[in-house]
Amino acid sequence: MGISFNPEYLVGGMEAVAGDEVTLETLDGLKPAVVRSVGVTTTSTC
C-alpha cells in the first residue's frame, strides 16, 4: 500500500501538536491520518 500526504498539511498537523516527537496513525488510504504527540493527549488530523 502506498500513502501520500500533502506536505503542507502534514507539517501543519505536526506543528499543531505539543512535544518533540509525534506518531502518525492511519487506518486506510481513504480516511484521515491522526498525528499524535508522544505522551500528550492533543491530536490533529491531516
Question: For the whole model, what pTM was predicted?
Answer: 0.59
> What dihedral angle (degrees, nearest 10) is formed by the CA atoms of 38, 43, 45, 46?
-40
Q: Domain of 23?
A: 7-45
Q: How do the pLDDT tens digits run along the chain, 46 residues long?
A: 677 888 998 899 888 888 888 888 888 878 888 888 887 655 556 5
Query: Does residue 28 fall inside a structural domain?
Result: yes
CA angle 13, 18, 41 (to 5 degrees): 90
Radius of gyration (C-alpha) of the chain in whole angstroms: 10
Query: Does residue 1 fall inside a structural domain?
Result: no
Query: Does residue 2 fall inside a structural domain?
Result: no
